[in-house]
Amino acid sequence: MSHPGETHEMSEAEIIYDWNSVEKVAPLTPGRRLEFFDETLRDGIQSPSVVDPKIDDKLKLVQLANDLGVHAMDLGLPGAGQRAIEDVTRLVTFIRDNRLVVKPGAAARTHVNDIKAIVEISQKTGVEIEVLAFIGSSPIRLYAEGWDLEGMLKKSAEAIDLAVKNGLPATYVTEDTTRSRPEVLGKLFSNAVDHGATRLCICDTVGHATPDGIRNILKFTRNLLDAMGARHVKVDWHGHNDRGMAVPNAIFAAEYGADRVHGTALGIGERVGNASLDQILMNLKLLGELPDTDLSKLLLWCRLTAKACHVPIPANYPLVGSDAFRTATGVHAAAIVKAESKGHTWLADRIYSGVPAALFGKEQEIEIGHYSGESNVTYWLRKRGIEPEVGLVKRILGVAKSGDHILTEDEVRQIIKDHRAAETSSRPVASFP
């Protein structure tokens, strides 16, 4: 208890009540190592609006993913053609020669020729490449394709057998898993495990799932693996963003038992995209699940992806967008200024932000606009070493209030210049006898 005259340093728990940690429905199991799989260079560049990056940019993206602690990457689909083969080969060689920790993976249809393409790259480079063999599994897909379960089982077995025979880890990927029947999934999963698959990838290919659906399908899969005595088989989650739920769904999947979650930088991908791996990492960091993970290069990774893929970053995109930590609202600015005046940078970084900017190499920015108050102008001027004289503050604020946008740096500096010129011209000229 504090007494008059005593100063009391407020703790985090005292100034922020965290409902997120009151009770978790399914907290991550203590000691469980959650892994991340980057799909930017395969599923991500399937977006109809992106450009397939040049190989030099791909190499940089691999390096950055490695530096961010991403465990594995899908480097492409070699079965798509010669360019894909060349790029995947170059990327695997880069990982080998630079002794990167990130593990290489490559996608394949459940066709022997697709698997052979990956095997050949692995043998040429001397590097183990994870094979992610995929096949549609939902009733709507089976109906549209005219597939029968017996044929699907046969193709899946042949693909997995070829990977395993050549010493490559096989992940069995069922497309549209979240709309597939349990009796079909049961047979496909059992068949894959019997033939040596070491991972099963649950795919929300069309962004259909809700957290309840994720819990149900992961429970089903875990129970199946337990019944088979196959607890060594890992379970992946791969989600899309059609309902705008991809990021929270990925976090729920991690809490409900997925061993590895997939995503792409900036959420690029088919239609409205995949789960944003950058946002997943950011949120898990804030939830305390990645205490030792250095995410200082997260911004660089996202910006390079935007540049290499010709994808503009929306101004309001979390963390990376230009507006992420900007405010021009008087009430918000005043609160930040008051927090800083207490000598409490930590407080100022959280008073109007659920994401502390400093944790990710950014800072809060206070701008001047038609919703601003004197606090905005005073802060802006002091930040640039300019004395906030009363007349100058009023002049800048007056211009801002009469406008319809946030004043740019150049606009404010022009107002300052005009104000100083007006002051000089209004001063009385000394007369001499």
Express each pLDDT in 130-183 by its tens digit. 999 999 999 999 999 999 999 999 999 999 999 999 999 999 999 999 999 999
Q: What's the pLDDT band for 346 if we cut at 50, 70, 90?
A: confident
CATH number at residue 284: 3.20.20.70
The answer on 37 and 175 residing in a single domain is: yes
Full domain range(s) for residue 112: 26-309
Task: Please give the pLDDT value at position 342.
Answer: 72
The answer on 167 and 240 residing in a single domain is: yes
Q: Is residue 8 part of a domain?
A: no
Q: What's the pLDDT band for 270 if we cut at 50, 70, 90?
A: very high
End-of-domain residue from the set 243, 274, 309:
309
- CB 8, CB 2: distance < 8 Å: yes
Task: Please give the pLDDT value at position 4.
Answer: 45
Task: Please give the pLDDT value at position 28.
Answer: 58
CA angle 15, 279, 314 (to 5 degrees): 105
Q: Which residue has the higher pLDDT, 433 or 246?
A: 246
The answer on 348 and 285 residing in a single domain is: no
Task: Please give the pLDDT value at position 6.
Answer: 43
Whether the pLDDT of residue 428 is over 90: the answer is no
Stretch among 23-32, 90-99, 218-227, 248-257 having the lowest mean pLDDT:
23-32
End-of-domain residue from the set 250, 275, 309:
309
Q: Is residue 254 part of a domain?
A: yes
Task: Please give the pLDDT value at position 1.
Answer: 40
- For residues 2-14, average pLDDT: 54
Whether the pLDDT of residue 3 is over 60: the answer is no
The answer on 71 and 159 residing in a single domain is: yes
Quote the CA–CA distance of 172 and 427 in Å, as a whole number: 81
The answer on 224 and 93 residing in a single domain is: yes
Task: Please give the pLDDT value at position 298.
Answer: 96
Q: Which residue has the higher pLDDT, 398 or 343?
A: 398
Q: Are strands 234-239 and 130-136 parallel, antiparallel or unpaired?
A: unpaired
From the number of C-beta atoms within 10 Å of its C-beta (0-12, 13-18, 19+), residue 57 rates as middle
- CB 245, CB 210: distance < 8 Å: yes
Name the β-bridge partners of 239.
Answer: 204
- Give Cα separations from 231 to 28, 94, 169 (angstroms): 17, 33, 16
The answer on 331 and 302 residing in a single domain is: no
pLDDT digits (tens, 9 = 90+) for 381-395: 988 999 999 999 999
pLDDT digits (tens, 9 = 90+) for 183-242: 999 999 999 999 999 999 999 999 999 999 999 999 999 999 999 999 999 999 999 999
Task: Please give the pLDDT value at position 258.
Answer: 96
The answer on 74 and 170 residing in a single domain is: yes
Q: pTM of the full predicted structure?
A: 0.88
Whether the pLDDT of residue 352 is over 60: the answer is yes
Q: Is residue 21 part of a domain?
A: no
- Give Cα separations from 140 to 146, 175, 177 (angstroms): 10, 11, 11
Q: Is residue 433 part of a domain?
A: no
Whether the CA torsion 319, 45, 214, 140 is positive or negative: it is positive
pLDDT digits (tens, 9 = 90+) for 73-118: 999 999 999 999 999 999 999 999 999 999 999 999 999 999 999 9
The answer on 278 and 141 residing in a single domain is: yes
End-of-domain residue from the set 309, 334, 363:
309
Q: Is residue 13 part of a domain?
A: no
Q: Is residue 6 part of a domain?
A: no
- For residues 265-272, average pLDDT: 97
Task: Please give the pLDDT value at position 349.
Answer: 78
For the chain, the domain total comes to 2
Q: What's the pLDDT band for 2 if we cut at 50, 70, 90?
A: very low
How is residue 80 annotated by DSSP?
G
Q: Is residue 100 part of a domain?
A: yes
Q: Is residue 1 part of a domain?
A: no
Task: Please give the pLDDT value at position 124.
Answer: 98
The answer on 389 and 303 residing in a single domain is: no
The answer on 414 and 286 residing in a single domain is: no
The answer on 304 and 401 residing in a single domain is: no
Task: Please give the pLDDT value at position 17.
Answer: 75
Average pLDDT score, the chain: 91
The answer on 368 and 244 residing in a single domain is: no
**Phi, psi (degrees; rounded to nearest 5) at 157:** -65, -45
Indicate the SS3 state at residue 378: helix
**What 3 state SS string does 395-421 have?**
HHHHHHHCCCCCCCHHHHHHHHHHHHH
